[in-house]
Structure 1
Amino acid sequence: MKQTIPVIDLAPALGGSRAERLAVARRIEAACTDIGFFTIRGHGVPLELIDALRGHASRFFNLPLEEKLRASPADPSVPRGYRALGFDALARGNADRAPGDLKEYYHFGRETWPDDPYYTGPEGQAYFIPNRWPERPAGFAAAASAYYAQMERLTASMMELAALALGIDEHFFADKIDRHITAMRINFYPAQQTPPEAGQLRAGAHTDYGLLTILNGENTPGGLQVRTRAGDWIDIETDPGTFVINIGDLLMRWTNDRWVSNVHRVVNPPADAGPAAQRISIAFFHHPNYDALVECIAPPGQAKYPPVLSGEYRDLKYRQTRV
């Protein structure tokens, strides 16, 4: 039988009894221990909101390149706005020498934040950065902000379930994510007009950096794959009405490798796929407060990793992946 990732219905846990929440948490524990990936349904995010952002993204990425480039930041190191094909190589974050990834993307974060030194001070300014929005299509910014707010709600629920799954206080993560530095990327994988370079993929094999990633995708040729513990690559179905969840490096460190931040990639479509291979995926990379100290949940003397600050770890990974 072909291996797949588990599909978990969140509906019983969202507003359900403690017994129902624990039952869902146990399924999350099994998935995170085994492969670090699972699909959720019953998530409560309105489908029309998802469709609205996907529609705006499709219209933007199919604009002429010259117009899209006007939405790029003047300083390439600023993680906001549009990035053209080959800007980064995700495999380099895992010490792999790889050519630039065959994707474009739009990078944004939260739209507003309090007038507080945590957000506006010298360190905060590195993470709370004004978004850059294109002139067209109208409504892009509003659709993106509405989606971001729904992801914040969903991740708060997911981290409570994660704590239950780990057997720790349900609110353990609350004060570590209440001022999170999460960024989103809308990835666009265009149809490939010329053959890729040797070893070049839509997104090279990598792990994600933070707590967890919430991905909304679509089933088109050339999609997401994850590597099993046996070393095999399996395809991940990415239906637009569901979300794929995967564990990031910081949550793996927090759990002392009890949960796995697994290697995944986006492969190239078949050479004859044509325009049908165009693909959009929307990723919410949930990352803790920049000053959150990530220390292994492990008995004294058994920690596999030294403590690390959330923001410092993210910045290191960003530097490693730039081409």
Structure 2
Amino acid sequence: MNPKEAGPTVVVEEIQRRHKDIWALRGVSLHISAGEIFGLLGPNGAGKTTLVRILATLLRPDSGRARVAGWDVVANAARVRAATGLAGQHSTVDGMLTGFENLCLIARLRGMDRRAARRTADELLDRFGLTDAGGRLVKTYSGGMRRRLDLAGSLVGSPPLIILDEPTTGLDPKSRLDTWDAVGELAAGGTTVLLTTQYLEEADRLADRITVIDHGEVVAAGTSDELKAAAGSRLAIVVGEDHQLPTAVRAAVSAGGNSPTVDRRDRRVETVVTDGQSALARALSVLQDEGVDALEVGLGRATLDDVFLGLTARPRPAVTR
């Protein structure tokens, strides 16, 4: 059976959690299928880390329930921990140990005997392209190598779920691409991946499905293509003279766009509109009425950035008692 056709690895049902007078999570529900890369997006303070901590059994929900690999995160916390690998925002490997020693240590903590731990360490070093560096102290590793070692450590014991909490924060572009390749290989091998990230390009490239949360609530869910389609279209107007930019802005606003962005160097105005061709016609009418012959006026697909910005600008709801 294709892993993605199996039952869900993660089920979250109406989870609520609050800290004093602020909702961290406010009735969040979601499910993550086996073998899926599931993207969890949201601004700082949206509730992503709180949800991750609940799934990792580090916090208890105030209400609702969550299951990982069929196990309840409260009633069966030890089972959930055995079924979960976690790689946080910051490297947790020991710089004073070698890569091999780090993986052996994690395997021993997972309950493996010495022989099984050494075999597992060798296999994971090979899988993540770190065999040649396995005998070196981790403090000599690059950021990308440390991240790959983190990912390798999260796979010790072959847990069905890997939680990656902003896994490429602080990495250079090459290391980020290497990490993306490694994450893709995890899912291809049948591992379920829950990915939280601040990099929208990362979610766009990796995630099979995406849920956006803001102020502790789910505000959108779907594939990247579905979210972009729901956001509308991106209207772009390029003019040839600086003095024509205010007219281009008025045309964008008339088209129905909110808060157009202005690139003065390229004399380009962009905004997101919801009614496509009608919006384009309104923009052209304004330009024509004011005698501006634009170099370019066109519609393009909305980006995941447009989706994110359009969904996460609401005021935070107050806690009701």
* TM-score, L = length of structure 2: 0.23
Whose helix fraction is larger, Structure 1's or Structure 2's?
2
Whose strand fraction is larger, Structure 1's or Structure 2's?
2
By relative contact order (CA 8 Å, sep 6+), the higher-ranking structure is 1
Q: For the pair shown, which has the larger CA radius of gyration, 1 or 2?
A: 2
